[in-house]
Amino acid sequence: MNEFRHFINGEYVASLNGKTFENRSPVDNSLIGLVHEAGREEVDAAVRSAKRALRGPWGKYTQAQRIALLNKVADRINERFDEFLAAECRDTGKPRSLASHIDIPRGAANFKAFSETLANHPTESFRLDTPDGKGAMNVGHRTPKGVIAVISPWNLPLLLMTWKVGPALACGNTVVVKPSEETPATTTLLGEVMNECGVPAGVFNVVHGFGPDSAGEFLTTHPLVDAITFTGETRTGEIIMKAAACGLRNVSLECGGKNPGIVFADADLEKAVEGTMRSAFANCGQVCLGTERVYVERPVYDRFLARMKEEVAKLKLGRPEDAAANFGPLVSLEHREKVAYYYNLAREEGATVEIGGGIPDMGDAQLNQGAWIEPTIWTGLPDTARVVNEEIFGPCCHIRPFDSEDEVIALANNTNYGLAAAIWTENTSRAVRVAEQIEAGIVWVNSWFLRDLRTAFGGAKQSGIGREGGVHGLEFYTELKNICIKL
Ligand SMILES: NC(=O)C1=CN([C@@H]2O[C@H](COP(=O)(O)OP(=O)(O)OC[C@H]3O[C@@H](n4cnc5c(N)ncnc54)[C@H](O)[C@@H]3O)[C@@H](O)[C@H]2O)C=CC1
Ligand SMILES: O=C(O)/C=C/C=C(\O)C(=O)O
């Protein structure tokens, strides 16, 4: 039986309270292992070890030394690629074909990308004239924030955790990570890699558990945590922000979305279908950047809808290791309950179910125990429907026709969220004009999830606070000090 222990001060440790919880496969609900649930003692030990490490050898590393070490970590993840892949697929049920192209390579790349940004980022300086004519020099100097709490979700576990751990460590901080209770495996495995690469004890720590009244809450309310970075649901983001207010700690929040896809009549329709298929159904729809609302200009609406239905019908559900499968289960039976609730609600709200809409018979008693759900397209819902306004985080989208640019911009922006959007058009002027009016942190034109890790990443409105990525991560992960030198 696998056991997932905390990783504190370079060692794997069990919980003093002896509490564990089950980690079950979303593929067939079989038991993967037992996860140790941290009490306040383990969280406190992890935070204190991270604090101590700031004053140890790690605190004296030069930027170049940190970058070299993190490059080694990236290389080691790639050397142990198959183990990370197996662990990620076991926890999430996602197809190996997906995780081997996205999750694991990005998990490694996140340790390299930021290093280059850091190495090439200039320091600001201003010369000040003074009445004595001699002047003064102002020089910006960045120092690490300290201990960073990283609270990560289950949808892209390694990718989203390292997206924060990479820059945090590159800037000289130490971290305590609380991975999602659903997906403890790859974060735990990363502890081994840190030791193998010689990352000093206490620099990278992991505590397992849930949110409220468990490791998540204990960590985010711990007074020695200097800043908190979080990816997950908006309501959880609010709770974490309240916790961070005590002691005036910085937060970076990357939260939910109800992202629009906009298909203009002049789009390359096949490109738009391919991109929208990915944005609505990749990772079983469990991507915060995914498209759950699709608006299609009326002249191509029927053709687009018909093509989407054809493509959805071709999706092949199956186990992660099934090479022909490109569609896995949802992360858990609990999450399926939430998504299935919206599938029923869509019918009650008057949707036409164009395809899918239910729980599939997998033709296998064991697989039928898993968290499978059909990829689904709805049409015909009013703009006020809950299904069109609330984040579902499942493999589903509502498709609706529109008649003018102004109308579709208003529809796209008619949401409390503002994370991402995808625009499909061959008219560049229109693409720019519309993109500039969309209220979102990220707008893709003729693409989706095309990521350049140097760019700003984050959400507007209730989709988040702050930006990470490239130089923007520097703002969050460092304290900028001004040194004023009178000449
Ligand atoms: N990337 C995203 O935007 C994601 C959105 N979601 C959305 O959130 C819904 C719920 O999924 P969850 O996994 O429950 O998301 P969540 O936001 O509750 O969990 C994300 C992380 O926050 C932790 N957490 C939860 N409550 C906390 C608290 N009070 N203090 C500190 N940490 C806390 C969790 O243990 C997990 O590590 C999903 O149905 C989906 O709609 C879920 C995962 C990722
Ligand atoms: O950093 C990325 O490229 C991906 C981000 C995706 C999410 O934040 C998400 O799905 O939660």
Per the structure, the count of domains in the chain is: 2
Which residues make beta-bridge pairs with 400?
295
Distance, CA of 55 to CA of 196 (rounded, Å): 22
| pLDDT at 320 > cutoff 90 | yes
* Whether 112 and 159 share a structural domain: yes
Regarding whether 297 and 433 lie in a shared domain, the answer is: yes
Separation of CA 461 and ligand 2 centre (Å): 17
**How many C-beta atoms lie closer than 10 Å to residue 460's C-beta?**
18
Question: What is the residue with the minimal CA distance to atom 2 of ligand 1?
Answer: 232
Kindly state whether residue 338 falls inside one of the protein's structural domains: yes
Instruction: Kindly give the distance from the C-alpha atom of residue 161 to the centroid of ligand 2, in angstroms, as a whole number.
Output: 10
User: CA–CA separation, 44 vs 9, rounded Å?
Assistant: 12
Mean pLDDT value of segment 198-222: 98
Q: Letter for the amino acid at 1?
A: M
**CB of 457 closer than 6 angstroms to any ligand 1 atom:** no
Q: Are residues 132 and 227 in the same domain?
A: yes
344 and 423 share a domain? yes
Q: What DSSP state is assigned to residue 285?
A: G
Probe target for ligand 2 pocket from 102, 151, 154, 156, with the most ligand atoms within 8 Å of CB: 156
- Note whether 438 and 425 are within 8 A (CB): no
1, pLDDT greater than 90: no
458 domain-assigned: no
Residue 225 and residue 195 in contact, taking contact as beta carbons nearer than 8 Å:
no
**Ligand 2 neighbourhood includes 117 CB (under 6 angstroms):** no
Are 356 and 420 part of one and the same domain?
yes
pLDDT at position 120 is: 87
At 370 the pLDDT is 98
Domain CATH code at residue 78 = 3.40.605.10
* 45 & 124 share domain: yes
Q: At what angle do helices 157-170 and 81-92 cross, to 10 degrees?
A: 130
Report whether pLDDT(205) > 90.
yes
Give buried/exposed letters for 57-90 (b at 16+ CB in 10 A, else e): ebeebeeeebbebbbbbbebbeebeebbbbbbbb
What confidence tens digit (pLDDT) does each residue in 347-357 have?
Answer: 999 999 999 99
Q: Decide whether any atom of ligand 1 lies within 6 Å of the 393 Cβ.
A: yes
For tokens 């809808």, name the residue. Answer: 305
Average pLDDT over residues 68-96: 98
For all residues of the chain together, what is the average pLDDT?
A: 97
Is residue 236 in contact with ligand 2, taking CB distance under 6 Å? no
- Give me the active site residues, please: 254
Q: What pLDDT does residue 439 have?
A: 98
For residue 99, name the pLDDT band (cuts at 50, 70, 90): very high
Residue 419 in this model has a pLDDT that exceeds 90: yes
Mean pLDDT over 255-263 rounds to 98
Residues 232 and 276 in one domain: no
pLDDT of residue 365: 98
CA distances from 396 to 51, 341, 356 (A): 44, 13, 9
| 12-22 per-position pLDDT tens digit | 999 999 999 99
> What CATH number does residue 430 fall under?
3.40.309.10
Judge if 144 and 203 occupy the same domain.
yes
From the list 45, 36, 276, 296, the residue with the least C-alpha distance to 179 is 36
The domain of 308 spans 259-452
Report how far ligand 2's centroid is from the alpha carbon of 440 (Å).
Answer: 14
The DSSP secondary-structure symbol of 200 reads P
Do 88 and 147 belong together in one domain? Answer: yes
* pLDDT of res. 203: 99
Which pLDDT score, from 0 to 100, does residue 482 have?
A: 98
Residues 6+ apart with CB under 8 A from 404: none
Please give the Cα distance from 148 to 166 (Å, whole number): 12
For 226, phi then psi, to 5°, come to -95, -25
The answer to whether residue 134 scores a pLDDT higher than 90 is: yes
pTM: 0.97
Q: Reply yes or no on whether the pLDDT at 422 is more than 90.
A: yes
At 118 the pLDDT is 86
Asked if residue 213 has its Cβ within 6 Å of ligand 1, the reply is no
Q: Strand runs (DSSP E) across 162-226, as ranges?
A: 174-178, 204-206
Atom of ligand 1 nearest to the CA of 209: 35
Q: Are residues 181 and 292 in the same domain?
A: no
Q: pLDDT of 329-385, one tens digit each?
A: 999 999 999 999 999 999 999 999 999 999 999 999 999 999 999 999 999 999 999
Which amino acid would we find at residue 243? A
pLDDT at position 401 is: 99
- Residue ranges of E strands in 77-224: 125-128, 136-144, 147-151, 174-178, 204-206
User: Is there a contact between 232 and 391 (Cβ–Cβ < 8 Å)?
Assistant: no
Residue 119 pLDDT class (50, 70, 90 cuts)? confident
Residues 265 and 199 in one domain: no
Summarize pLDDT for 425-446 with one digit per residue, the tens: 999 999 999 999 999 999 999 9
How many residues are there in the chain? 487
What pLDDT score does 270 carry?
Answer: 98
Burial state string for 339-356 with b = 16 or more CB within 10 A and e = fewer than 16 = bbebbeebeebebebbbb
Same domain for 110 and 211, yes or no, is yes
